[in-house]
Structure 1
Amino acid sequence: MDIDLSAFHFLRPWWLVVLPVAALLWWMRRGERAMPGRDSQIAPSLLPYLLVRAPGSRGPRPIDLLALMVAASGIAAAGPAWQRDEPAFLDNVAPLIVAVDLSASMDHADVPPSRLEAAKHTLRDLAVRRAGAKTGLIAYAGSSHLVLPPTDDTSLLDLFAQALSIDLIDRQGRDAAGAIALGARVLAAERAGGTLLLLTDGADAQQLDAVQKQAQAARDMQVLVMAVGQTGRGQAGIDADALRDLAQAAGAPLGSLTGGPDDLDWITLHAQQHFRVVQDAQPGAIHWKDAGYWLCWPLALLALFAVRRGWRVTWSACLVAAVMSGAPLDAHAGAWADAFLTPDQQGRRAFEHGHYDEAAQHFRDLYWKGRAAYEAGDYPAALTAFSDLDTADGYFYVGNTQTRLRQYDAALAAYDQALSIKPGWEPAVVNRGIVARLLEAMSQEDQGDQAEPPDRSIQDKTAHGGKMTKVPVAQATSEDVWLRNLTISPARFLRGKFAAEDAARGAKP
Structure 2
Amino acid sequence: MDLSAFHFLRPWWLLGVPVAALLWWAWRATQGRMMQDGRIAPALLPYLLVHTPGGRGPRPIDVLAAILAVAAVAAAGPAWERDEPDFLDNVAPLIVAVDLSPSMDAKDVPPSRLEAAKRTVRDLAARRAGAKTGLIAYAGSSHLVLPPTDDKDLLDLFTQALSSDLIASAGHDAAGTVAVAAQVLAAERAGGTLLLLTDGADTARMAAVKQAAQAVKDMQVLVMAVGLRGAGGAAGGIDEAALRDLARAAGAPLGSLTGGKDDLDWITLHAQQHFREVQDAYAGPPHWKEAGYWLCWPLALLALAALRRGWRVAWHACLLAGIVVLAAPQPARAGPLADAFFTPDQQGRMAFDRGDYETAMARFRDPYWKGRAAYQAGKYQAALQAFTPLTTAEGYFYVANTQTRLRQYDAALAAYDQALAIKPGWEPAVVNRGIVARLLESMTQETQGDEGEPPDKTIQDKTAKAGQRVATHAGQAPSEEMWLRNLTLSPARFLRGKFAAQDAAAGRAP
- TM-score interval, smaller chain: 0.7 to 0.9
Could you say which residue in structure 1 is the equivalent of 2:231? 232
Q: Is the 8 A contact 1:4 1:83 kept in 2?
A: no
Alignment of 1:249-264 (within 5 A): 249-264=249-264
In the alignment, the residues of structure 1 paired with residue 234 and residue 348 of structure 2 have an alpha-carbon distance, to the nearest angstrom, of 59
Distance change (3 Å), C-alpha of 1:121 and 1:296: closer
Letter in 1 for 2:244: R
Q: Secondary structure at the match of 1:315?
A: helix
Alignment of 1:261-340 (within 5 A): 261-282=261-282, 283-303=284-304, 305=306, 311=312, 313-332=314-333, 334-340=335-341
Of 222-231 and 361-370, the range deviating more from structure 2: 222-231
Could you say which residue in structure 1 is the equivalent of 2:208? 210
Q: Secondary structure at the match of 1:147?
A: strand
Distance change (3 Å), C-alpha of 1:358 and 1:77: farther
Distance change (3 Å), C-alpha of 1:79 and 1:191: farther
In the alignment, the residues of structure 1 paired with residue 233 and residue 504 of structure 2 have an alpha-carbon distance, to the nearest angstrom, of 36
- The Cα shift of 1:173 comes to 2.8
Q: Is the 8 A contact 1:402 1:408 kept in 2?
A: yes
Could you say which residue in structure 2 is the equivalent of 1:430? 431
- The Cα shift of 1:139 comes to 0.6
In the alignment, the residues of structure 2 paired with residue 389 and residue 472 of structure 1 have an alpha-carbon distance, to the nearest angstrom, of 43
In the alignment, the residues of structure 2 paired with residue 500 and residue 359 of structure 1 have an alpha-carbon distance, to the nearest angstrom, of 46
Whether 1:481 aligns to 2:482 is yes
In the alignment, the residues of structure 2 paired with residue 504 and residue 469 of structure 1 have an alpha-carbon distance, to the nearest angstrom, of 45
In the alignment, the residues of structure 2 paired with residue 219 and residue 240 of structure 1 have an alpha-carbon distance, to the nearest angstrom, of 28
Letter in 2 for 1:193: G
CA deviations 1:419-450 (Å, max 9, x no partner) are 12222221111111111111111122232347
Whether 1:146 aligns to 2:141 is no
Alignment of 1:26-65 (within 5 A): none
Alignment of 1:93-492 (within 5 A): 93-190=91-188, 192-230=190-228, 231-232=230-231, 236-237=235-236, 238-282=238-282, 283-303=284-304, 305=306, 311=312, 313-332=314-333, 334-449=335-450, 451=452, 453-455=454-456, 478-492=479-493
Of 445-454 and 206-215, the range deviating more from structure 2: 445-454
Of 449-458 and 202-211, the range deviating more from structure 2: 449-458
Distance change (3 Å), C-alpha of 1:442 and 1:470: closer
Could you say which residue in structure 1 is the equivalent of 2:78? 80
In the alignment, the residues of structure 2 paired with residue 426 and residue 87 of structure 1 have an alpha-carbon distance, to the nearest angstrom, of 23
- The Cα shift of 1:117 comes to 2.6
In the alignment, the residues of structure 2 paired with residue 15 and residue 482 of structure 1 have an alpha-carbon distance, to the nearest angstrom, of 69
- The Cα shift of 1:214 comes to 1.6
- The Cα shift of 1:86 comes to 7.7
Could you say which residue in structure 2 is the equivalent of 1:39? none
- The Cα shift of 1:276 comes to 4.4
Q: Is the 8 A contact 2:14 2:76 kept in 1?
A: yes
Q: Secondary structure at the match of 2:297?
A: helix
In structure 1, the gaps of 5 or more residues are 34-48, 460-465
- The Cα shift of 1:226 comes to 2.0
In the alignment, the residues of structure 2 paired with residue 112 and residue 66 of structure 1 have an alpha-carbon distance, to the nearest angstrom, of 67
Of 98-107 and 173-182, the range deviating more from structure 2: 98-107
Q: Is the 8 A contact 1:359 1:372 kept in 2?
A: yes
Distance change (3 Å), C-alpha of 1:167 and 1:433: same
* Paired-residue identity, %: 67
Letter in 1 for 2:253: P
Of 334-343 and 234-243, the range deviating more from structure 2: 234-243
Distance change (3 Å), C-alpha of 1:308 and 1:428: farther
Number of equivalent positions = 479
Could you say which residue in structure 2 is the equivalent of 1:2? 2
Distance change (3 Å), C-alpha of 1:62 and 1:429: same
TM-score, normalising length: structure 1 = 0.80
CA deviations 1:344-370 (Å, max 9, x no partner) are 111111111111111111112222111
Q: Is the 8 A contact 1:347 1:360 kept in 2?
A: yes
CA deviations 1:161-220 (Å, max 9, x no partner) are 111122222333322111111112222333633221112222223321121122122232
In the alignment, the residues of structure 2 paired with residue 390 and residue 207 of structure 1 have an alpha-carbon distance, to the nearest angstrom, of 52
TM-score, normalising length: structure 2 = 0.79
- The Cα shift of 1:489 comes to 0.5
Q: Is the 8 A contact 2:20 2:66 kept in 1?
A: yes
Q: Is the 8 A contact 2:103 2:234 kept in 1?
A: no
In the alignment, the residues of structure 1 paired with residue 342 and residue 431 of structure 2 have an alpha-carbon distance, to the nearest angstrom, of 38
In the alignment, the residues of structure 2 paired with residue 333 and residue 364 of structure 1 have an alpha-carbon distance, to the nearest angstrom, of 14
Q: Is the 8 A contact 1:307 1:314 kept in 2?
A: no
In the alignment, the residues of structure 2 paired with residue 161 and residue 377 of structure 1 have an alpha-carbon distance, to the nearest angstrom, of 21
CA deviations 1:454-489 (Å, max 9, x no partner) are 448699xxxxxx99999999x885321221111110
CA deviations 1:241-294 (Å, max 9, x no partner) are 222221111111223334444433433343344344444545233524413322
Distance change (3 Å), C-alpha of 1:83 and 1:266: closer
Distance change (3 Å), C-alpha of 1:247 and 1:69: closer
Letter in 2 for 1:165: S
CA deviations 1:118-177 (Å, max 9, x no partner) are 322332333333344322110112221111122232222121111112222233332211
Letter in 1 for 2:399: V
Distance change (3 Å), C-alpha of 1:80 and 1:159: same
Distance change (3 Å), C-alpha of 1:189 and 1:74: farther
Q: Is the 8 A contact 1:3 1:83 kept in 2?
A: no
In the alignment, the residues of structure 2 paired with residue 205 and residue 233 of structure 1 have an alpha-carbon distance, to the nearest angstrom, of 12
Q: Is the 8 A contact 2:108 2:227 kept in 1?
A: yes
In the alignment, the residues of structure 2 paired with residue 260 and residue 303 of structure 1 have an alpha-carbon distance, to the nearest angstrom, of 51
Q: Secondary structure at the match of 1:372?
A: helix
- Cα RMSD (Å): 4.2
